[in-house]
Amino acid sequence: MLFNHYQDNRSAIAVKIPRMGFAVAFCVLALAAPILTLDNGLMRTPPMGWLAWERYRCDIDCQNDPKNCISEGLFRDMADRLSEDGWRELGYSYINIDDCWSDMNRDGNGRLQADAKRFPSGIPHLARYIHNRGLKLGIYGDMGTHTCGGYPGTTLDKITTDAQTFADWEIDMLKLDGCYSNVTEQEQGYPAMSKALNATGRPIAYSCSWPAYQGGLPPQVNYTLLGEICNLWRNYGDIQDSWSSVLNIADWFFKNQDILQPAAGPGRWNDPDMLVIGDFGLSMDQSRSQMALWAIMAAPLFMSNDLRTISSEARTILQNKVAITINQDPMGVQGRRLLVESSGIEVFWRPLSDKTSALVFFSRRTDMPYRYQTSLGKLHYATGTYQIYDVFAQREMPALKDSTSFLVSINPTGVVMWYISAPADEDQDNAHAGGKLRGPAFHRSANHILL
């Protein structure tokens, strides 16, 4: 939650995809030396799970809206769905409480406490319920006098107390917001909470909203430091349940990809905020677009929806095994926008492990499906023959030479997403060009921009 609100470790999912040997040109940034990471060993791939905020906000009216209010019943329901409906096995392992869970006052010992009417069993009991289902519990705090919703915050003198409280409750992740604090308090408080969490001896993943309160970009934001103290961070504003919001966030991230891409990697992730797939604002094409772009960005996949009533179509998108495999790639390189066409088509690329890669063809058009023509060679893939798997059509396509022109039909505001490899016998010969790994070129023409 950014003032008006915004907001383990999982190996790559083993998925049966047709065997693809791969020759792909890796971007120079994929080979860069890793940044130091928060020393807790967590979130080596982007975290996945469910988060309350976008769908349920600060609904505390349990008398009139008992199924949807912020209460232990809501989080138990979502834990049941994650554990029983196939989500957990795909990597969706976190159940995250957001704002408005606490009592308006700390207890007699100065510790945070849950609202007794809405969480009558207490947070430790809820944590056990969630752990018994093979899941993890995340909780929300705020580096300030109050949370964004007006509940008790964590001031500098309460950092150690609150960190130990969360550890005693067996919390697995803390999201620390930044409402009602100033620059100096944030500079001291966010690193201090990282140290305090580590000092508890319990592995607690740490999501800090610090950069979002400082504009998201250098020089105000030091991404090297963030990588040393946080597992993930909110860079930008809150997502809303609308296509314009999803597009605005994606545009900001890809506009600033040269700054943001090097900051991300195993244990340290840029967070463009929640998946709103399955709510009210996105069409199915737009839902596939959010899933694809978040996978290309190596973004955390925190759904904020009602898993009790989600449609089969939305579930199919969120449970797409190949899209999840791309998102969870253990190399952890954030992808890039390669191409912006005057036709309204954009192309995104992400290098993956084992010489694989992902391409996304995205349409900004709102009129009709667009037939986009290009070749892998034009997208600066090395010479060779590639195997293509269409992620959302869930089918293997004919092998494709780098020099062969092809057409993809992209629906308005939709995507075509490919998982790409080269046959095994061409891996060694074609992965290199002139002895060097080749990356996307920097080129401009009248019709398109290759970024």
pLDDT of 355 higher than 60:
yes
Query: Which member of 115, 142, 238, 271 is catalytic?
Result: 238
Fold entry, domain 35-327: TIM Barrel (3.20.20)
Does the active-site annotation cover 238?
A: yes
Q: Please state, in angstroms and rounded to a whole number, the distance separating the CA atoms of residues 230 and 151.
A: 23
Instruction: Please give the pLDDT value at position 424.
Output: 59
Q: Which helix (H) or strand (E) holds 348?
A: strand 345-351
Section 65-88 average pLDDT: 98
Q: What integer pLDDT is reported at residue 21 of this predicted model?
A: 37
Q: Which of 177, 273, 329, 402 is the catalytic position?
A: 177
- Quote the pLDDT of residue 14: 39
Cα–Cα distance measured from residue 198 to residue 69, given in angstroms and rounded to the nearest whole number: 32
Q: How many residues does the chain have?
A: 451
The whole-number average pLDDT for the span 10-18 is 38
How confident is the model at residue 422, as a pLDDT? 80
Query: What residues contact 447, with CB distance under 8 A and at least 6 apart?
Result: 341, 342
CA–CA distance, 119 with 116 (Å, rounded to integer): 5
Q: What is the pLDDT of residues 376-406, one digit of tens each?
A: 999 999 999 999 999 999 999 999 999 999 9
Predicted confidence band of residue 10 (pLDDT cuts 50, 70, 90): very low
Mean pLDDT is lowest, of 91-100, 164-173, 416-425, for: 416-425
Q: What fold is seen in the domain 336-450?
A: Immunoglobulin-like (2.60.40)
Place of tokens 């016998």: 425
Q: For the chain, what is the radius of gyration of the CA atoms?
A: 22
Percent of the chain with pLDDT over 90: 85
Structure tokens at 270: 């840029």
| H-helix or E-strand spanning residue 80 | helix 72-84
- pTM for the structure as a whole: 0.89
Both tokens of 13, joined, read 């999912």
Q: What would the mean pLDDT of 156-182 be, rounded to a whole number?
A: 98
Spell out the alpha helix ranges (H) of 268-331.
284-296, 312-318, 321-327
pLDDT of 37-72, one tens digit each?
467 999 999 999 999 999 999 999 999 999 999 999
Q: What residue ranges do the domains of the chain occupy? A: 35-327, 336-450
Please give the backbone phi and psi of residue 314, each rounded to the nearest 5 degrees, phi first.
Answer: -65, -40
- Examine the residue annotation and report whether 306 is marked as an active-site residue of this protein: no
| Mean pLDDT, the chain, whole residue set | 89
Phi, psi of 109 (to 5 degrees): -95, 10
* Phi, psi values for residue 290, rounded to 5°: -65, -45
Amino acid at 31: L
- Note the pLDDT tens digit of each residue in 230-257: 999 999 999 999 999 999 999 999 999 9
What does the pLDDT read at residue 184? Answer: 97
Residue 441 reports pLDDT greater than 90: no
Cα-flanking dihedrals φ and ψ of residue 181, to 5°? -145, 165
pLDDT of residue 39: 76
Measured distance CA(273)–CA(54) in Å, rounded: 10
Indicate if the pLDDT at residue 4 is higher than 60: no
Could you tell me whether strands 406-410 and 370-374 are parallel, antiparallel, or unpaired per DSSP bridges? Answer: antiparallel
Mean predicted confidence (pLDDT) in 185-196: 98
- Pick left, alpha or beta for residue 221 (phi over 0 → left; psi -120 to 50 → alpha; otherwise beta): beta
User: Please, which residues have CB within 8 angstroms of residue 228's CB and are 6 or more apart in sequence?
Assistant: 35, 36, 37, 38
